[in-house]
């Protein structure tokens, strides 16, 4: 009996299909098919992928009426066509899937389950920090399996709307001219370029009670037009990043002090802040962040709740499949002759990071590579690129933060020990968002091994393969368009 988990109707629609043994059969994002970034709704492309699995159970990632109640309270009005799960699924699925049973779950519980049930832990403290779902903005859970292997969750603490770290960070993102609920990662990257001039002003403006994460304003409505007038975007971003880290730290201290477990599962959109994630190892021994921790990942979380048991997590290559053997030799040839090459092969990554199956790869050593890749991607020059490295050599080149001995999903930054050797993958503060690749038999592993033998360099620059303004490449037709537009070969 297959279970379809759905996150849709608001932003970043996604679907996950699991079977009754807990295997993930498919997990993908609507935007990759519709080509509309953060597409809120299912389109035919995503539907076609999941229909073939004939799901008999559908699990939805939040409680619609409770969300509408909060939206009404927040002055956003009520969306009368989104009051019940049935209404939403009717619109999203268009009658093409008619399950025997439909479930819906609390928004933060879906986040928690997407993390815990994919984690290697029998027992864990789960922290969820996001912008807002129904009412909760931060929650801490005790999670464990009972003697029958059924996942049990106890909510230990919560904070509610409008006290939200995620909404605060989105307000900053909007204030500096970027797209909220999409470009928070650019705010994070910009922060390294700023000075801490406004840190104390920002704290004063934002925090009412640091320990309980009570904020002075409802940042759902923005930062306040007359706050920090004249400050540069970089300095605003730097101050906001520090204040966000102060608040996240308080949540982690609270979670640790509950003494439920020294294993941490961390979920919610704020868990994508890989600069802040450096601190997690100060409070917990072992850390698991499911590589799609935002709302899209809650399609997996809702399915996991319907199953009730552990999910067999292997890796994040769970989306659309471009068949064929990983093109190691073609990529090596491209790297050696042109220094930059694309890859679109195998199953697409679930989550916002390209991890080698839909990537633009480059030699990280050249002084001009960063400018070249930025020119291809038509993006801001200040933004850093990430390295993908043989896992056993990561410590040689990077100070991996505690709790992140390996970083297989680019979830934490690490200080580069030799930034002068790899200018293309080091940010202005000499950190990198490292992806480590273990001996897992994957194509990207084989590529790195051969690249290392041929060049003595154990890493590559890895950035997502996408046409500017579009989501990450999904199928071969997208890859062909990329080749035509940018004149860069994409191997499949």
Residue 39 touches Fe ion, criterion: CB under 5 A: no
Phi, psi of 165 (to 5 degrees): -65, -40
Based on CB atoms, which residue is closest to Fe ion, 130 or 183?
130
Residue 130 touches Fe ion, criterion: CB under 5 A: yes
> Residue 107 CB, nearest distance to Fe ion (Å)?
6
Strands in 69-150 per DSSP E: 101-104, 123-129, 136-145
Based on CB atoms, which residue is closest to Fe ion, 70 or 358?
70
240 and 168 Cβ atoms separated by less than 8 Å: yes
Based on CB atoms, which residue is closest to Fe ion, 245 or 295?
295
> Residue 164 CB, nearest distance to Fe ion (Å)?
10
- Per-residue interface string for the shown chain with Fe ion, residues 273-312, x marking contact by CB under 5 A: ----------------------x-----------------
Residue closest to 251 by CA, chosen among 291, 210, 200: 210
Q: How many CA atoms lie within 13 A of 255 on its CB side?
A: 35
Based on CB atoms, which residue is closest to Fe ion, 295 or 478?
295
Residue with tokens 């990942």: 297
Per CB under 5 A, contacts with Fe ion among 197-256 are none
Strands in 306-397 per DSSP E: 317-322, 340-344, 346-349, 358-362, 386-390
170 and 186 Cβ atoms separated by less than 8 Å: no
Strands in 146-225 per DSSP E: 151-160, 207-209, 214-215
CB neighbour class for 21 (10 Å; exposed up to 12, middle 13-18, buried from 19): exposed
Question: Angle at Cα 14 formed by Cα 11 and Cα 17, nearest 5°?
Answer: 160
Residue 12 touches Fe ion, criterion: CB under 5 A: no
> Which residue sits closest to Fe ion, CB atoms considered?
130
240 and 202 Cβ atoms separated by less than 8 Å: yes
Site for Fe ion (CB under 5 A): how many residues? 3
> Residue 302 CB, nearest distance to Fe ion (Å)?
12
> Residue 276 CB, nearest distance to Fe ion (Å)?
17
> Residue 133 CB, nearest distance to Fe ion (Å)?
5
> Residue 70 CB, nearest distance to Fe ion (Å)?
13
Based on CB atoms, which residue is closest to Fe ion, 244 or 390?
244
Stretch that binds Fe ion, among 128-136, 214-222, 242-250, 431-439 (CB under 5 A): 128-136
Stretch that binds Fe ion, among 4-12, 130-138, 191-199, 276-284 (CB under 5 A): 130-138
Q: What is the dihedral of CA 11, 12, 18, 24, to 10 degrees?
A: -160
Based on CB atoms, which residue is closest to Fe ion, 133 or 384?
133
Helices vs strands, H then E, count in the chain: 15, 23
Contacting Fe ion (CB under 5 A), which of 9, 115, 133, 291?
A: 133
Stretch that binds Fe ion, among 132-140, 187-195, 303-311, 457-465 (CB under 5 A): 132-140
Residues that bind Fe ion (CB under 5 A): 130, 133, 295
């Amino acid at each position: 009996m297959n279970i379809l988990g759905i996150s849709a109707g608001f932003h970043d629609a996604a679907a996950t299909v699991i079977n009754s043994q807990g295997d993930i059969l498919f997990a993908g994002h609507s935007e990759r098919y519709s080509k509309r970034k953060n597409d809120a709704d299912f389109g035919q492309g995503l539907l076609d992928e999941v229909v073939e699995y004939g799901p008999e159970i559908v699990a939805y990632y939040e409680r619609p009426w409770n969300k509408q109640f909060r939206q009404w309270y927040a002055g956003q009005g009520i969306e009368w066509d989104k009051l019940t799960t049935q209404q939403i699924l009717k619109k999203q699925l268009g009658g093409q899937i008619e399950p025997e049973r439909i479930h819906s779950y609390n928004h933060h519980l879906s986040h928690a389950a997407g993390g815990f049930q994919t984690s290697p832990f029998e027992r864990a403290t789960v922290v969820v920090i996001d912008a807002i779902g129904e009412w909760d903005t931060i929650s801490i859970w005790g999670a464990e399996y009972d003697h029958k292997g059924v996942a049990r969750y106890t909510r230990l603490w919560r904070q509610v709307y409008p006290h939200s770290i995620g909404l605060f960070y989105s307000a900053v993102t909007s204030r500096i001219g970027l797209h909220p609920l999409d470009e928070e990662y650019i705010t994070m990257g910009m922060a390294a370029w700023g000075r801490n001039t406004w840190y104390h002003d920002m704290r004063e403006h934002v925090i009412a009670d640091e320990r309980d994460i009570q904020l002075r304003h409802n940042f759902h409505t923005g930062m306040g037009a007359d706050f920090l007038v004249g400050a540069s975007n970089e300095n605003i971003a730097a101050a906001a990043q520090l204040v966000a880290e102060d608040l996240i730290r308080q949540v982690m201290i609270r979670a640790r002090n509950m003494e439920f477990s020294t294993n941490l599962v961390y979920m919610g959109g704020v868990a994508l802040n890989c600069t802040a994630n450096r601190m997690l190892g100060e409070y917990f021994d072992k850390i698991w962040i499911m590589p799609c921790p935002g709302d899209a990942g809650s399609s997996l979380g809702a399915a996991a709740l319907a199953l009730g048991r552990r999910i067999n997590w292997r890796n994040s290559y769970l989306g659309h499949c471009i068949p064929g053997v990983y093109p190691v030799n073609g990529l090596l040839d491209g790297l050696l002759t042109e220094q930059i090459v694309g890859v679109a092969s195998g199953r697409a990554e679930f989550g916002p990071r390209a991890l080698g199956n839909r990537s633009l790869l480059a030699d990280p050593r050249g002084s001009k590579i960063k400018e070249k890749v930025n020119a291809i991607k038509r993006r801001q020059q200040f933004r850093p690129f990430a390295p993908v490295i043989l896992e056993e050599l990561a410590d040689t080149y990077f100070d991996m933060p505690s709790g992140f001995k390996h970083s297989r999903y680019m979830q934490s930054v690490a200080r580069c020990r030799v930034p002068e050797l790899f200018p293309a993958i080091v940010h202005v503060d000499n950190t990198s968002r490292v992806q480590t690749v273990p001996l897992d038999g994957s194509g990207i592993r084989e590529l790195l091994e051969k690249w290392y033998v041929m060049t003595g360099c154990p890493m590559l620059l890895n950035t997502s393969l996408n046409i500017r303004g579009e989501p990450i490449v999904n199928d071969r037709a997208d890859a062909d368009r990329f080749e035509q537009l940018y004149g860069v070969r994409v191997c499949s």
